[in-house]
Chains A and B, each alone.
Chain A
């Protein structure tokens, strides 16, 4: 089995396309995606904060609103082409501007000014009757987080709870899918499987060696992705500011290590499922199309459980695949209890081994040699 395992690794590492999907993509693509996403977010927030708008009146200016505009740091009048054209009379204001520009905060800023005006008016009116707004709306509520986590920590943990499982599973699935078709169906297509099955290696050992290789490739892909993320996070945490810095505040080496450990049984499970489904395919192409079924079966529960609608109960944590994002989210939020990852790992491992044993035990030499 180990002979087959090491040969498969040597063989795979000689293939440039596989090297790219296995090593280069997780190493480079993840930081690039993160950097682009963060860069776009940073630029948008910077732009929004610094944006200035010009305005012009197409009717007689409404004096109260003109005063608000002049007091605002975001607006300045112009005689040339303006960002917004204002018109109206009395208490009716109309603003004409391009609402298609989603990056622009112009509309929000105008509505804020109107709200301020309304508030001033309400306060002034109530003051004439010796009343205040608080007299009309006596009830108020404030909340206090007893978890000890700050608002920033909660924000960060929710971001991490979404990104981490998604990136890791994409990496494991993409790598495993690209290799699975080659391991049995690809060998059959290249006529090397016939040579291999003529050797004394039992068919079950051949399959177990390939399963072991595919599992280790998935784990390696996850490891590389986590490594590249870590390399990216150190400068990101040092140099980012504002919302971006807040988003990264919950990242830690311990969190990354735990996430990786939790991914190991899932990588084994994915490898077993992919090989079971693709081993009868007559060609690499057919195997690839069959592998997409596994992608759907694995990824839909992950997307579903990422929505944060599942609590980390014993029952939920015992459901394979689904338990992964739930455990990561609980871990990132700092609410993890020691038995939770244990249940998740055991549940995934038991199913992974069951899939693998069925895959290897139900092997039929005729089917393996000829496909079905």
Chain B
């Protein structure tokens, strides 16, 4: 189970004044508390700039934080490489190396995750069957379509068979087919007892995939509970989420 307790994060922003640049502390997260269980999907919702991506990046071990604890399976986010070893991170913005083929990208990241060549190859074959990578494997990423690129990106995220999947707006910019494939992947991973954190602005994805919901507003968790408490359908959830965010003030 993933546990986030008392997470606080402040960015040091540089602001240019007339003759000099000054650093201003900008608090982004203030005592964020979350739990996500194995085999369940926690949807992390909120307005733009609320702190969703920062929360997910702190959990992924990519950003440092001033206070709080993030732990799972006896490790904490400050454990460094061994923490990141159990996480698969995919954001709508993350890209593969354009001048390498998809397979070369997978070999590269597999090596960074400490996998040997044989296990990388075996895993690529498995992912090829699951995701139908096909020709994309040996195609340079800059020659791949958006959908093929996203397939490769999903394969990269699942390559080391992570326990925790962090998906930050993974369907942003994708067409309907690629989005559907993405949602299927999430379902399959949830069924395989993985813990999933999903940040999205699409309420139909929340209705279809989420078991639990955390709403972040102004750097704090404004709601954390089962999705049923917000409604059964996408429209109901949308109204509930809007009310909660407006209640806190954006």
Contacts and interface: CB of A to CB of B under 8 A. Distances in A.
Interface of A: 3-4, 7, 10-11, 14-15, 190-192, 194-202, 364-366, 369, 372
Given A14-B100, A191-B94, A202 B63 contact: no
Interface string B66-89: 000000000000001110110101
B174 interface: no
B112 interface: yes
A194 B109 CA distance: 13
A200 B75 CA distance: 14
Contacts, number: 73
A366 B57 CA distance: 10
A309 to B, nearest CB: 38
Given A202-B80, A372-B14, A195 B62 contact: no
Contacts of A198: 60-62, 84, 87, 89, 94
Contacts of B84: 198-200
A195 B94 contact: yes
B172 interface: no
A200 B14 contact: no
Contact of A200 (B81, B91, B93): B81
Interface of B: 11-12, 14, 57, 60-64, 80-82, 84-85, 87, 89, 91, 93-100, 104, 108-109, 111-114, 140, 156
Contacts of A11: 97, 99-100
B81 A202 contact: yes
A194 B93 contact: yes
Contacts of A199: 84, 109, 112-113
A3 B81 contact: no
Given A7-B108, A198-B60, A199-B109, A190 B114 contact: no
A158 to B, nearest CB: 45
Contacts of B61: 198
Nearest to A187: B97
A194 B89 CA distance: 9
B11 A366 contact: yes
Contacts of B109: 195, 199
A191 B95 contact: yes
Contacts of B95: 190-192, 195
B134 to A, nearest CB: 22
Contact of A365 (B14, B63, B81, B108): B63
B99 A194 contact: no
A19 to B, nearest CB: 11
Contacts of A3: 108, 111-112
A4 B64 CA distance: 23
Nearest to B91: A194
A369 B63 contact: yes
Contacts of B140: 14
30 contacts: A3-B112, A10-B100, A10-B104, A11-B100, A14-B99, A14-B140, A190-B98, A191-B93, A191-B95, A192-B98, A194-B94, A195-B89, A195-B94, A195-B95, A197-B62, A198-B61, A198-B62, A198-B87, A198-B89, A199-B113, A200-B84, A200-B85, A200-B112, A200-B114, A202-B81, A365-B63, A365-B64, A366-B11, A366-B64, A372-B14
Contacts of B60: 198
A198 B112 CA distance: 10
A199 B87 CA distance: 8
Contacts of B57: 369
A69 to B, nearest CB: 70
A260 B218 CA distance: 58
Contacts of A364: 64
From A10, A14, A369, residue with most partner B Cβ within 10 Å: A14
B8 to A, nearest CB: 14
